[in-house]
Structure 1
Amino acid sequence: MRVVILCGGESPERDVSLASGWSVTRALLERGHEVVLVDPAAAVPVLAGPLRPGDAVDGVAVGKEPPSLPDRHRMRQRMHAALTGGPVLELLRGAELVFLALHGGWGEDGHVQALLEMAGVRFTGAGSAVCAAAWHKGRAQAVLDAAGVPVTERVLWRPAAGEVPGEVRRLVAAGPAVVKPVADGSSVSVHRVDSLAELTRIATEGHPRSDDVELMVEPFLSGREFTVAVVGGQALPVVEIELTTPLFDYTAKYQPGAVSEVCPARVPGDFASRLQETALRAHRALGFGGGTYSRTDFRCDAGGAPRCLEVNALPGLTATSLLPLAATGSGWTYPDLIQRIVDLATR
């Protein structure tokens, strides 16, 4: 097939997405496809291609820090222009399939999917409505809670609104608590807080444009951390994330050696089945169909009961990402996983 891969983008996960894009490129070439690699937020969008099986492909390392806010604004302008007209849009329309290796921002909140849907372009993963539903953690948690998926207490807060609400004060006082953007990925800007002063400082310093920011505050869960991927209608083996830090943040996720990831997780079979069944329920509750894939993250409370943290519509596809690790636990190679995602989108 003629496949265009979209990667990079304007989100804090830009570097992760670029690494995913190059990894997917190698896998698709190995499976005999023709590939063009495109970063719609770059000054020169076409990164490589057309590439054909046998062509050499480079890779890219994931940076230690996300792009700065000013850089992200410039990238967003370029990305909008590229996806709404000109040669990039024509390239997408001429492809048999667009493989979305975008993570975060417009790539995962439904914006890019909506543009592709309006252009009549076929793409991998969930559609715009499902991505939007999963992306906003507050609304997604409400849907999951109603569907019987175990979640934790959470309070939404806009720092620009003024005084810290009483419910937020209560959670922090009972502490520790976790504060994070209600719409972001890769654990960007996730913090553990132990005092109201610390919460206020993080909300102010970490988000200089706080008028645009909505935060979610929830109790810190001190137990083990797991993730379960669903590809099509199949839940893959459970992965455990063994942490050396309190939180599985951006640095821990993408720097080799920062954490230990075990697949299959060393847990009793009934506990693993429980997590897999819950991941499938979360996948379906948010509208993911049989032709899509997702990854559901869990953390256990002090008593060992798992709570769903979020469902990722476009999980990372780098060499060290969790979805490829889970695929390996199922006996799939990395190219097997990528071909399955292609097959789901084209069946």
Structure 2
Amino acid sequence: MSELNISQIGKTAVLLGGHSAEREVSLRSGEAVFNALRKKGVDCIKFDPSEQELTQLKALNVKNVWIALHGRGGEDGTIQAALEFLNIKYTGSSVSASAIAMDKWRSKMIWKAMGLPVANHTLVDQSVVVDDALVRRLVARLGPVVFVKPSREGSSVGMNKATSLDSLKAALIEAKKYDDEVLVESFITGKEYTVSILGNKALPSISMVTPREFYDYEAKYHSNETQYFCPSGLNPEEEKEIAELAQTAFSALGCQGWGRVDFIRDEASGQFMLLEANTVPGMTESSLVPKAAAEAGVSFGDLVLKILETAVNR
């Protein structure tokens, strides 16, 4: 149970919607958070920055913001900077940490420099022409099977697995629709895991199994066939290992408050490999942070309050 004094919180705005490719998920997350806060007695409103000017928050006497915006404009430091300018407290990570965590390539560069485990990867930026010569070079460097991801998108938006020269070229062109910087990394065979962070604590890990080729946007938000396991099936030593790695990786980017770190476990070596950090993970009915919190004995309502506490105590 949160130790927040509800009567002293002040008006809270749940930011949801926005302009990003993840607007649909953000609306669902924000609605769930808003309803939970209302049930806990918090004086709160819903606020969509794509429909209202942020300066209206001051006119509405908003003291705290619960950020439920996903993707660009919501978890990349943009909204965090605007709220700091308005002197309004907000949930989650700071401006700089949010910007770095949103950028998959730069996150991996930091992790790699610290000696943390990441897949071989490279960046294709706006100066690089996507042609046959490029895809041949990428395959020679990273192997015949790769993942292609817009560097600064979330929820697997624009992400594709490429198994041939033609599919790699198509994947690069598709990813560039979302970002002029594209991360390309070697494919690792193994099971995917995620570890949620709440305060300074790692919650129980979750493993995911999907009949789809990988854990993509469809598997995350629309499929009824995706299976989640929490406990994830790891033994106590492995659970301790992945928890410590998640906390180290999260802190390395300067992240704080709450979030999630995603992994794939290399089937060949057994090594947990870092995929990405999320500073504003989904809070929908199928989202992973609430599942992990429930396994740790934290209800959805208390989880939402504990996250709000990161704003109030900012």
**Residue of 282, 294, 299 corresponding to 2:264:** 299
Q: What secondary structure, in the 3-state scheme, does the structure 1 residue paired with 2:74 have?
A: helix
Once the two structures are superposed, the pairs formed by residues 6-45 of structure 1 within 5 Å of their partners are 6-42=15-51, 45=52
Amino acid at match of 1:270: E
Q: What's the counterpart of residue 59 of structure 1?
A: none
Task: Give the deviation of 1:192 after TM superposition.
Answer: 0.7
Q: What's the counterpart of residue 184 of structure 1?
A: 153
Q: Please tell me the root mean square deviation across aligned C-alpha atoms, in Å.
A: 1.7
Q: What secondary structure, in the 3-state scheme, does the structure 2 residue paired with 1:107 have?
A: coil
Task: Give the deviation of 1:131 after TM superposition.
Answer: 0.2
CA separation of 1:257/1:171 partners in 2, compared to 1, >3 Å: closer, same or farther? farther
Rounded to whole Å, the distance in 2 between the matches of 1:206 and 1:274 is 33
Query: For residues 71-124 of structure 1, what are the alpha-carbon distances to aligned partners after superposition, in whole Å with 9 as ceiling and x for unaligned?
Result: xxxxxxxxxxx23x4x35533xx1121110001011011011001111111111
Once the two structures are superposed, the pairs formed by residues 108-119 of structure 1 within 5 Å of their partners are 108-119=75-86
Q: What secondary structure, in the 3-state scheme, does the structure 2 residue paired with 1:151 have?
A: coil
Query: For residues 197-227 of structure 1, what are the alpha-carbon distances to aligned partners after superposition, in whole Å with 9 as ceiling and x for unaligned?
Result: 1111222355458xx5211111111101100
Unpaired stretches in structure 2, ≥5 consecutive residues: 1-9
Rounded to whole Å, the distance in 2 between the matches of 1:133 and 1:170 is 29
Query: For residues 226-248 of structure 1, what are the alpha-carbon distances to aligned partners after superposition, in whole Å with 9 as ceiling and x for unaligned?
Result: 00011110000000011212211
Q: What's the counterpart of residue 308 of structure 1?
A: 274
CA separation of 1:240/1:253 partners in 2, compared to 1, >3 Å: closer, same or farther? same
Once the two structures are superposed, the pairs formed by residues 113-192 of structure 1 within 5 Å of their partners are 113-158=80-125, 161-162=128-129, 163=131, 164=134, 167-171=137-141, 174-192=143-161
Query: For residues 153-182 of structure 1, what are the alpha-carbon distances to aligned partners after superposition, in whole Å with 9 as ceiling and x for unaligned?
Result: 11101366224176513146x221111101
**Residue of 183, 201, 215 corresponding to 1:248:** 215
Q: What's the counterpart of residue 7 of structure 2?
A: none
Unpaired stretches in structure 1, ≥5 consecutive residues: 46-81
Q: What secondary structure, in the 3-state scheme, does the structure 2 residue paired with 1:315 have?
A: coil
Larger RCO (alpha carbons 8 Å, 6+ apart): 2
Q: What's the counterpart of residue 164 of structure 2?
A: 195
Q: What's the counterpart of residue 250 of structure 2?
A: 283
Q: What's the counterpart of residue 271 of structure 1?
A: 238
**Residue of 274, 284, 293 corresponding to 1:327:** 293
Checking the alignment, whether the CA contact within 8 Å between 1:5 and 1:38 is kept in structure 2 is yes
Identity of aligned residues (%): 34
Q: What's the counterpart of residue 224 of structure 1?
A: 191
Rounded to whole Å, the distance in 1 between the matches of 2:177 and 2:114 is 36
CA separation of 1:205/1:31 partners in 2, compared to 1, >3 Å: closer, same or farther? closer
Amino acid at match of 2:73: W
Task: Give the deviation of 1:35 after TM superposition.
Answer: 1.3
Q: What's the counterpart of residue 5 of structure 2?
A: none
CA separation of 1:308/1:208 partners in 2, compared to 1, >3 Å: closer, same or farther? closer
Q: What secondary structure, in the 3-state scheme, does the structure 2 residue paired with 1:281 have?
A: helix
CA separation of 1:330/1:202 partners in 2, compared to 1, >3 Å: closer, same or farther? same
Rounded to whole Å, the distance in 1 between the matches of 2:157 and 2:58 is 30
**Residue of 288, 304, 308 corresponding to 1:338:** 304
Checking the alignment, whether the CA contact within 8 Å between 1:155 and 1:167 is kept in structure 2 is no
Rounded to whole Å, the distance in 2 between the matches of 1:286 and 1:149 is 12
Q: What's the counterpart of residue 106 of structure 1?
A: 73
Checking the alignment, whether the CA contact within 8 Å between 1:124 and 1:341 is kept in structure 2 is yes
Query: For residues 43-81 of structure 1, what are the alpha-carbon distances to aligned partners after superposition, in whole Å with 9 as ceiling and x for unaligned?
Result: xx4xxxxxxxxxxxxxxxxxxxxxxxxxxxxxxxxxxxx
Task: Give the deviation of 1:305 after TM superposition.
Answer: 1.6
Aligned residues: 300
Rounded to whole Å, the distance in 1 between the matches of 2:74 and 2:47 is 13
CA separation of 1:205/1:308 partners in 2, compared to 1, >3 Å: closer, same or farther? closer
Q: What's the counterpart of residue 4 of structure 2?
A: none
Q: What's the counterpart of residue 58 of structure 1?
A: none
Q: What secondary structure, in the 3-state scheme, does the structure 2 residue paired with 1:106 have?
A: coil
Rounded to whole Å, the distance in 2 between the matches of 1:133 and 1:317 is 21
Residue 262 (structure 1) aligned with residue 229 (structure 2): yes
Task: Give the deviation of 1:139 after TM superposition.
Answer: 0.7
Q: What's the counterpart of residue 204 of structure 1?
A: 173
